[in-house]
Amino acid sequence: MRRQAAIAVLTFTLATGGAQAGDDALEAGKAEFMAHCASCHGEDAKGDGPHAVVLAKKPADLTEITARYGSFPAERVFETIAGLDDSGAHGTREMPIWGDVFVSEAVGKSVKLEDAMKASDEATRRIVNLVTYIESIQDQP
């Protein structure tokens, strides 16, 4: 259910122009990337961040996703970031499950259902912004 809801939100959001309007989504996604992804993937997203050397597997070059798949697989990228993919693409999953991290940050210590639902929406928005940014940095053929 969680996966279906997240995919529905992602599809709607991308179809209607992003979680935030245009440049705002891109800037928010870039800020999320620099704060949470660049340490492993590098500021240029090529997979050579400062923490990459301590990982068992080199982080992916995120600028080549479109080249690898023929088109940008927004749903798959969303699922990977959120931790919803079951493909084993990350093997032992060295990459954090950012969906859980973002929900935890948003919900804090609250035990209210309403707060949990808002936190889930916030996490989804943050991940959609990341997907928007990652799509924007794809190498052009």
**Domain range summary for the chain, segments of one domain joined by +:** 2-136
User: 8 or 57: whose pLDDT is higher?
Assistant: 57
Alpha helices in 2-137 (DSSP H): 2-15, 22-36, 38-41, 65-69, 74-82, 98-107, 113-136
Of the pLDDT bands very low, low, confident and very high (cuts 50, 70, 90), residue 1 is very low
Residue 90, pLDDT score: 47
Closest CA to 25 of 94, 90, 74: 74
Q: Percentage of residues in the chain with pLDDT exceeding 70? A: 79
Give pLDDT, residue 47.
Answer: 96
Residue 33 CA to residue 132 CA, distance in Å, equals 11
In this prediction, residue 115 carries a pLDDT of: 83
DSSP designation for 139: P
Q: Residue 18 has what pLDDT?
A: 47
Tokens of 66: 């479109």
pLDDT band (50, 70, 90) for residue 111:
confident
Percentage of the residues of the chain whose pLDDT score is greater than 90: 54
Average pLDDT over residues 13-20: 50
Average pLDDT, stretch 86-103? 70
Determine contact, residues 59/47, Cβ cutoff 8 Å: yes
pLDDT tops 60 at residue 70: yes
pLDDT band of residue 3 (cuts 50, 70, 90) is: low
93-109 mean pLDDT: 81
Instruction: Let me know: does 35 contact 111? Beta carbons within 8 Å.
Output: no
